[in-house]
Chains A and B, each alone.
Chain A
Amino acid sequence: MGWTGDGEQGATMTRRAFLHGAAALTAAAAVGSVRLPPALAQPRVMTLDYYTLFHSGDAAAMERIVRAFNAAHQTVRLNLLQGQWAEYYAQLFAAVGAGNAPHIGICHTSRILDVWRALTPLDESRAGNLLDAAGIRGRDYTKTVWDAGVHQGRRYLVPLDSHMWGLWYNKDIFRRAGLDPDRPPETREEFERACEAIRTRANTLAFHPAEDALPRKIRRAWEILFWGQGGSLLTPDGRRAAFNEERGLRALDYLAGMIRRGWNQPGTDGFKQFAAGQLGMLLAGNWYLPTAKDSNVNFGFHYVPRFFDRPTTWGDSHNLVIPRQRPERTSNEMLVAAIRAIKWINEHSDIWGVYGGHIPAFVPAQRAKDLLESDSWKLALSKFTDMANRGYVHYPLIHERAPQVHSAIEPYVQEAYNGRLAPRDALARAEAEVNRVLSS
């Protein structure tokens, strides 16, 4: 540190101090993302953001489709971003609100009533009727799924698939229990006889009604039993709970009875029990197929048994959608490109069946050779497709407040299933909470 004049030193330091501060600020600013002006981007290739909620096997299958799309197109490129299940809709809403929504997204059929506000009406968009522009016709799709994609007379959804629960069973355990492994139960009587045989003769866990122990899954199991008697969660106007009645009670009683009769224990994971070869029968979704195949279990697959009046299963559909776009960001030309990409994805959704284990909603894809000759088809998908086409599938509640209504019911149904709450009390409490949610 040499001696210099006071003033000079002070000036230097001030400038340096300033530079130091400025550097810190620049560093702070630089971490913000830098956007190139559109003019600098290649004008030839149009990039469309495609945002999904798929993970693991599903995500890999969708990636396969998008890779094929990008290989087949020179002027349009799909930029795939796959998200988390729980926060997906929040993220979609946030992106639409901030004006940077993806050009293509996914929406469950059961969410149309609260999500439609974030979507572009496909038959009345600012670029005209997009369905016509891409040649998307209702007769090419599974009818029930197609029909559910409309809100207030406008179409928002283009169906991608159906997914649902079915009955997985362990053939070896069936044999040990003296049951015919090629004749899984179809009626309630057959089902109960099978459970008892497995419990007493094969001396292992007989049945798991709901994949695992998550409250929403237990609620689905109850709904299957409830819907199978013609029940409905809410009154037709959607203002009040309608499940606290005889059918709802019978369904919950039957569900709780599965534990009482010793077919399983509360809080267990059926996926795991089944894969470990300790469970005779399991109600689970088509997405279980890859795991079932990986396990050493000699398994079979069948329709959900007819527990009450009509055969019913829980199911939903994924749909392709175009989230609401701002004109300054998304030209009409891009909207048309997006709907064409959706059509293309539909046309290649046999891949979605083979690798994702879902049932394509696009009928020609259901008949694709690759799908029909695949392992997945023979092991389970053919029966899933039957269920879809025979009208077994019951959608979950379609209501603006569906997530909250479900969340109001779930703890009580779960507690009843666990044997900690009498079914009658459980339904009464769930009813009170649902009504409170609906009235606020």
Chain B
Amino acid sequence: MSGRSPWPRVLLAAMTVLALLWVAPLFWMFATGVKPTPEIFATPPRLLPGMPTGDHVHVVLTRWPFARWLLNSVIVATATTALSVIVSIPAAYVFTRLRWWGRDALFLVFLSSMLIPLEVNVIPLYFLMNRLHLLNTYPAVFLPMIGMPIGIFLLRQFFVNIPAELDDAARVDGCGNLRILWHVILPLSRPALAALVIYMFTFAWNEFFWSMIALSSPRMFTLPIGLRALQGAYDIDYGILMAGASLAALPALVLFLFLQQSIIRGITMTAHK
């Protein structure tokens, strides 16, 4: 297709302009974060920082437990992802590779809860976690994110396409279900597992409403909640806010630069067709 008509080139040029505009807010965030305050409020605004400063970054890193927030986010997202994967694999297996009474009905029940967001349950979850004396702990944040049917759903989509003959062959060799799952299904399902890991990790990394309610002390905050606290304290100071936002965006950006294609491919797999 390429080379024959001038269209792809024109399209590419137009797209490049659009993409630059699209990422301009990010540029503006990074630029504001390193501008001295007078430059931030200069009129007309300056595109590039004239005298870049680390002051705002310094404030965020020294007056706030920013590193701790990052750590908290990593812990919460890792725990959510790991536990989700662990509980989803065997469930997806029995929903695809075995046939039993009530299977489809039960799956439909799980499925219909798939789109029910965490947000509608924050009040009862708050009561529940309070009773368990878990408020302001990691488990309070990640436990409610684990029973999400999306995990089963994603894996199931993949498992059904693995030929049944493989199971049968393994069974003839005397393998039980656990072995089939471990030695036959999982090795063939790496892309689906990667997709699930990416999906759950970004989901947990970005969760906001419930984390905000469940966590109360700044040392326990995850990054999104920490940023909100930053906003509460520096409503007036966009240099500090943008420095904080830049720092919070940085891990995602770095990871994305390295894993760009695998992340996009992983996300693609979550498509529902």
A residues apposed to B, CB below 8 Å: 1, 3-4, 6, 9-10, 13-14, 16-17, 20, 24, 27-28, 31-33, 55-56, 59-60, 81-85, 87-88, 91, 94-95, 97-98, 100, 212, 269, 271-272, 275-276, 278, 291, 295-296
Contact = CB atoms under 8 A, between A and B. Distances in A.
Given A1-B173, A97-B130, A272 B41 contact: yes
Given A13-B177, A17-B178, A84-B216, A271 B87 contact: no
5 contacts: A14-B176, A32-B132, A60-B63, A81-B136, A97-B130
A295 B173 CA distance: 77
Contacts of B17: none
Contact of A94 (B41, B130, B137, B233): B130
Contacts of A272: 41, 236-237
Given A3-B173, A16-B178, A55-B233, A83 B133 contact: no
Given A10-B176, A55-B229, A56-B234, 4 more contacts: A13-B177, A33-B134, A94-B126, A276-B41
B130 A32 contact: no
A17 B176 contact: yes
Given A27-B86, A32-B132, A81-B217, A9 B176 contact: yes
B143 interface: yes
Nearest to B42: A276
Contact of B143 (A31, A85, A94, A276): A31
Contacts of B176: 9-10, 13-14, 17
Contacts of B144: none
A216 to B, nearest CB: 13
Nearest to B220: A81
A91 B177 contact: no
B174 A27 contact: no
A309 B216 CA distance: 43
Given A27-B83, A33-B133, A55-B229, A83 B179 contact: no
A13 B174 CA distance: 10
B79 interface: yes
Interface string B70-102: 000000000100010011001000000000000
B216 A81 contact: yes
A212 B236 CA distance: 8
B4 interface: no
Contacts of A100: 133
Interface of B: 37-38, 41, 63, 79, 83, 86-87, 90, 126, 130-139, 142-143, 170, 173-179, 183, 212-213, 216-218, 229, 232-237
Nearest to B133: A100
A162 to B, nearest CB: 21
Contact of B178 (A6, A13, A24, A33): A13
Query: Which 9 interchain pairs have the tightest Cβ spacing?
Result: A13-B176, A56-B233, A271-B236, A31-B139, A272-B236, A276-B41, A83-B216, A98-B130, A94-B130
Nearest to B127: A94
A3 B170 CA distance: 11
Given A13-B176, A20-B178, A276-B41, A32 B126 contact: no
Nearest to A12: B176
Contacts of B63: 56, 60
A100 B174 CA distance: 54
Contacts of A84: 216, 229, 232
A100 B213 CA distance: 17
A33 B86 contact: no
Contact of A291 (B86, B133, B173, B236): B236
Contacts of A10: 176
A91 B83 contact: no
A100 B137 CA distance: 14
Contacts of B216: 81, 83-84, 87-88, 91
A97 B126 CA distance: 12
B244 to A, nearest CB: 13
Of B130, B177, B213, B232, most A-chain CB atoms within 10 Å: B130
A17 B218 contact: no
Contacts of B130: 94-95, 97-98
B178 A9 contact: no
B11 to A, nearest CB: 41
Nearest to A30: B139
A361 to B, nearest CB: 24
Contacts of B133: 33, 98, 100
Nearest to B87: A24
B229 A98 contact: no
A28 B139 CA distance: 9
Given A82-B217, A84-B216, A91 B135 contact: yes
Given A33-B137, A212-B235, A271-B236, A55 B177 contact: no
A268 B171 CA distance: 72
Contacts of A83: 216-217
Nearest to A295: B37
A269 B176 CA distance: 67
A17 B180 CA distance: 12
A160 B128 CA distance: 34
Contacts of B86: 24, 27
A16 B175 CA distance: 13
A1 B135 contact: no
Nearest to B213: A87
Contacts of B90: 20
A95 B63 CA distance: 28
Nearest to A99: B133
A426 B137 CA distance: 44
A295 B38 CA distance: 10
A32 B179 contact: no
A83 B236 CA distance: 20
Given A4-B174, A82-B217, A13 B232 contact: no
Nearest to B178: A17
A267 to B, nearest CB: 13
A24 B229 CA distance: 35
Contacts of B79: 31
Nearest to B86: A24
Nearest to B41: A276
A32 B134 contact: yes
A147 B243 CA distance: 45
Of B126, B130, B133, B236, most A-chain CB atoms within 10 Å: B236
Given A269-B236, A275-B236, A9 B174 contact: yes
Contacts of B233: 55-56
